[in-house]
Structure 1
Amino acid sequence: MLSDKSRSDKVEMIKNLIRANNYKDCQKTYEQCINVGISVNLISLTRFTEKLELLDRADRSKRIEQLQQEKNQLKKALTYEQVKQRETAITFELGELKIKENRLMEELNELSKLLDSKQFN
């Protein structure tokens, strides 16, 4: 008989496989389960996948709603100075992201050129 811990570990592993496959292609998830040594019924796996997707969507919706409420409450509680400070911080972060994006684009261009010229060490 499986212990509760090993059973819950297997259920979590199945959930992770389902999520990794974006709740689609139950046949692929089934094969992955078999490959890691978890014996499952394909029909039950399909039903479980559908229910897990619904639960995850509901959880995501709750979290988004909660974040929106917190954001609205935070907006009401901020002073002018705090708003200006946050605005400056966001602007700075966006600038850093733009710089990083440009560096990555340059690196990608160099890699593309290298692939085109087929010059490898």
Structure 2
Amino acid sequence: MNPPGVIDEQVFAELQDSAGADFVAELVGSFLDDAPALLAALAAAAAYGDADAFRRCAHTVKSNAHTFGATALADAARALEHTPLTDLGADAGPRVAALRGLYDAAAAVLQGRRHA
């Protein structure tokens, strides 16, 4: 079941049509395996003030989420990517935590798609 707005059905269907369901299942598996470490690296970059690493991690999350039609996750990651870490200040940690929540929602849907 896809809660409204978690995965764009059209984007996901187009990906499966163009790449094939089996390959998409592999891509989803890689994303689910890699994203937790990427989100941890994003949080660490925020905590240590590493603006370049923060931007790169946010960019990667954005790009990967966009691939699967995880629009809310992609949009939140894009906002982090384009906001200087110094401007986020104390909001960086809560914004990364919110991003993790969006990832968790998308991951739950994608996990179901992977085994469908």
Fold conserved (TM > 0.5)?
A: no
Larger C-alpha radius of gyration, 1 or 2?
1
